[in-house]
Structure 1
Amino acid sequence: MTHSPQRYLMYIAQNYSFAILRPLQQAILKQGGQVCWFFEGDGVDGRFLHENEQLLASVADVKAWQPDAVFVPGNVVPRCIPGIKVGVFHGFNAGKLNRRGREDHFEIRGCFDLYCTQGPDTTARFTQLAQQYGFFKVKQTGWPMLDPLFTEPESNPYCAVDDPRPTILMCSTFSRNLTCAPHLYETVKALVATGKWRWLVQFHPKMAAETVAQYKALQGPNLTFVETDNVIPVLQAADVMLCDTSSILLMFLLQGKPVVTFNNQHPLPHLLNVTTTNEVEPALSEALTYPADLMANIQHYCQQIHPYQDGCSSERVLAATNALLDNGLLELKSKPLNIVREFKMRKKLGYWGL
């Protein structure tokens, strides 16, 4: 079916969401659609917005523009934002439990009309939840953020063409219970001093400031501390990752590259997991040999979480969204009112209109 130019809103609350939604924006513009951005709260740095991207500064502006669909990489979006609501996720299911002891990735908050899932391992569960709740649809599309992962960048600022050393990328989540960064500081410091590997370090934006300062102090010819709104080139530049339970490790695995984890909550065969600092260096050395059994386990796992390597997930998300726009929400139940959550979101946005 041919579409009149549709209006799509990118609703974001974190800087990393730019990289999640920009491939989708590209697909929309290619099809002749219109895109605007909206920032929820003060967690987004407006300097990351490109000159050719349009920002709607208030909920009133959004309502005046009347988007047909809203893409959300976060967990929630208020009802006062017009358009069908599409959840596109801010990461993979890393098995993290929320305060209620439930898997956060599958927490249904009553905000979305459509979930665009990344692969079979999450699609099955979301399909089951869709049947249970009845107010949203599910379509397996792959994840827009990964589209550029499967294309060669024109130039990569994190690659050192004239440096033959293997490159280790260290990433870590901010959660105090899960983060490896404070525990591995002395180990990494000692390994950096040897100079046998080149290090890139990139942390979650909510990482404790003192931990960030510690690692920044290690910068020099052997280590680069990376602060960016787009981790894709960083992932592409490394040979092996050192991580914890952060979902970024799943993106790294999808390149067919090994990950060494420190005290991972789910130490499965596709990871080289260690539980003491003494094991870190031997595990990294082993990972750099790309062991055949480990690589086979990685390949099998990747088929479950994200089987697409064609760089076309954005087009699939857009097709699923347009199909819902065409067919409407008539066969879906009404979403729950969520009065308390709606009040909190409106308070955060400073919007009390209809």
Structure 2
Amino acid sequence: MLRPLQEAILARGDEACWFLEGNEVDPSFLKASERQLKTVSEVKAWAPDAVLVPGNVVPRFIPGVKVGVFHGFNAGKVNRRGRQDHFEIRDCFDLYCTQGPDTTLPFIELAKKFATFKVAETGWAMLDPMYKQGADNPYYIEGDKRPTVLFCSTFSRNLSCADTVYEQIKTMSCKGNWRWLVQFHPKMNLETVEKYKALQNENLTFIETDNVLPLLQSADVMLCDTSSVLLMFLLQGKPVVTFRNQEPCSHLLNVEKLEEIEPAIEKALSRPAELIAQIESYCEQIHPYRDGLSSERVLAAVDSMIDNGTADLKVKPANLIRHLKMRKKLGYWKLF
């Protein structure tokens, strides 16, 4: 998620280091060339000019401008306070780098209200490689001209369609007229994962990867439920068929019955002009940047904040409980 930013940082001659926190982050995914700072003391000694965070919080005691770069698009999730989680202000960030008008405008209003941070619309850096011609895609098969359908599903039992559509996908994959790729969220129920792995045949491949972008590039149509990965797929101008999506919209081909899935995929593969126009209109709102240069825009916004300082921002609320929790989690109690 942050590697496109790292690439842009290194390309201009600057340095980048990684600080990983939490059990869900696996340091083995770091490359030998990537430097990891393992303690807060190491981070403070390195003294970063900016801290780029794809999560919701960052400790105040870590130096540098705190920049929120988001770990996904606004999926409309409501937190326990009844507010949209994507727009929850946790008094941690100096700068939010937003993805497109539909998130920029609400954050601008919040910036006016709180006056403790700034907003820059940059696009989402994670998507930069999707818009660039890179190395050979590992999921292309030379000579196989069949349309490719990518099936993705969320891990939430209440929202996932993976078990419900299993038999339907099994039947469709056996026909051989399409090539199927299946990829799930890492938190997907293990029984469901094993069931789909066992389904693999000459027409269906189950993929486990920490980089979904090549998968998105290789498919012609996606079948999904409510997983936010469908937004990334749409940003290629490609159709998505959803099964019982909670918020069906004109840019999606949503179906409610199992027998409707196959005809919907066939329709999607025909790329109806009206549907493609709806997709384009939607993408202009969530992420209008297709140049693969969002990382550079993020760094330009960060440079501007560093150059101009934060003196014109209000002091953030102390929010002692949240910051004490972060100190406890990281085991760091030094004042300086």
How would you bin the TM-score normalised by the shorter chain?
A: over 0.9
Secondary structure of residue in 1 paired with 2:33: coil
| Aligned-pair CA distance for 1:336 | 2.1
Check 1:99–1:193 CA distance in 2 against 1; reply closer, same or farther (3 A cut): farther
Match of 2:125 among 117, 141, 144: 144
- 1:118 matched to 2:118: no
Match of 1:201 among 154, 159, 182: 182
Give the whole-Å Cα distance in 1 for the aligned partners of 2:162 and 2:80.
23
Give the whole-Å Cα distance in 1 for the aligned partners of 2:72 and 2:108.
19
Match of 1:344 among 317, 320, 325: 325
Give the whole-Å Cα distance in 2 for the aligned partners of 1:344 and 1:199.
45
Match of 1:46 among 24, 27, 31: 27
Secondary structure of residue in 1 paired with 2:156: coil
**Cross-structure match for 1:96:** 77
1:115-167 C-alpha deviation (Å, 9 max, x unpaired): 00001111001100111111110000001111111112220111112212111
1:251-270 equivalences in 2 (<5 Å)? 251-270=232-251
- 1:220 matched to 2:201: yes
- 1:286 matched to 2:297: no
- 1:187 matched to 2:131: no
Q: Which has the higher mean CA deviation after the structures are superposed, 68-77 or 331-340? A: 331-340
Consecutive unaligned residues of structure 2, counting only runs of 5 or more, are none
- 1:210 matched to 2:172: no
- 1:27 matched to 2:8: yes
Letter in 1 for 2:256: T
- 1:129 matched to 2:114: no
Give the whole-Å Cα distance in 1 for the aligned partners of 2:141 and 2:111.
47
Give the whole-Å Cα distance in 1 for the aligned partners of 2:147 and 2:278.
22
Secondary structure of residue in 2 paired with 1:35: coil
Q: CA RMSD in A?
A: 1.3
Letter in 1 for 2:88: E
**Cross-structure match for 1:10:** none
Q: Which has the higher mean CA deviation after the structures are superposed, 218-227 or 340-349? A: 340-349
Match of 2:307 among 326, 330, 338: 326
Give the whole-Å Cα distance in 2 for the aligned partners of 1:196 and 1:101.
46
Match of 2:156 among 175, 183, 188: 175
Alignment check: 8 A CA contact 1:113 1:136 kept? yes
- 1:158 matched to 2:131: no
Alignment check: 8 A CA contact 1:153 1:233 kept? no
1:27-74 C-alpha deviation (Å, 9 max, x unpaired): 111122110001111212222111111000111111111111100111
Letter in 1 for 2:199: L
Q: Which has the higher mean CA deviation after the structures are superposed, 340-349 or 128-137? A: 340-349
Consecutive unaligned residues of structure 1, counting only runs of 5 or more, are 1-19
Give the whole-Å Cα distance in 2 for the aligned partners of 1:185 and 1:337.
50
- 1:247 matched to 2:228: yes
Q: Identity, % of aligned pairs?
A: 66
**Cross-structure match for 1:107:** 88
Give the whole-Å Cα distance in 2 for the aligned partners of 1:341 and 1:137.
21
TM-score normalised by L of structure 2: 0.96
Give the whole-Å Cα distance in 2 for the aligned partners of 1:295 and 1:266.
19
TM-score normalised by L of structure 1: 0.92
| Aligned-pair CA distance for 1:102 | 2.1
Letter in 2 for 1:169: L
Match of 2:298 among 306, 313, 317: 317
Give the whole-Å Cα distance in 2 for the aligned partners of 1:165 and 1:238.
10
| Aligned-pair CA distance for 1:98 | 2.3
**Cross-structure match for 1:74:** 55
